[in-house]
Amino acid sequence: MLLTKFNLKNIGTTNVSVPAENLFDLPEKVLQFGTGVLLRGLPDYFIDKANRKGIFNGRIVVVKSTEGGDAAAFDKQDGLYTLCMRGLVNGK
């Protein structure tokens, strides 16, 4: 299944955390240069965490900063991506 805003409601949430629909209506507050794994796994993760707690209430705008790579996959998925976390138990 292609990951899109429309398909989020079809994903089971037993072992998966999906964004609430209202998060897509938040204002854009962060301009991020780069689409790399490190950026998606660290600052983006913490911004998502703050949004879920109602602390930050903003979205990230990502600017592709190099000629390499292809942003088409992000476009097809409405800018959504998966993040697999290992080694964290109860937030630690």
Contact in structure between 63 and 33 (CB atoms under 8 Å): yes
Q: What is the pTM of this model?
A: 0.74
Contact in structure between 19 and 8 (CB atoms under 8 Å): yes
Structure confidence by residue, pLDDT tens digits, 4-49: 888 888 887 777 888 888 888 999 999 999 888 888 888 988 999 9
More confident residue, 45 or 91: 45
Secondary structure of residue 82 in the 3-state scheme: coil
CA 78/CA 72 separation, integer angstroms: 10
CA distances to 30, 43, 65, 84 from 38, in Å: 16, 8, 14, 13
CA 36/CA 28 separation, integer angstroms: 19
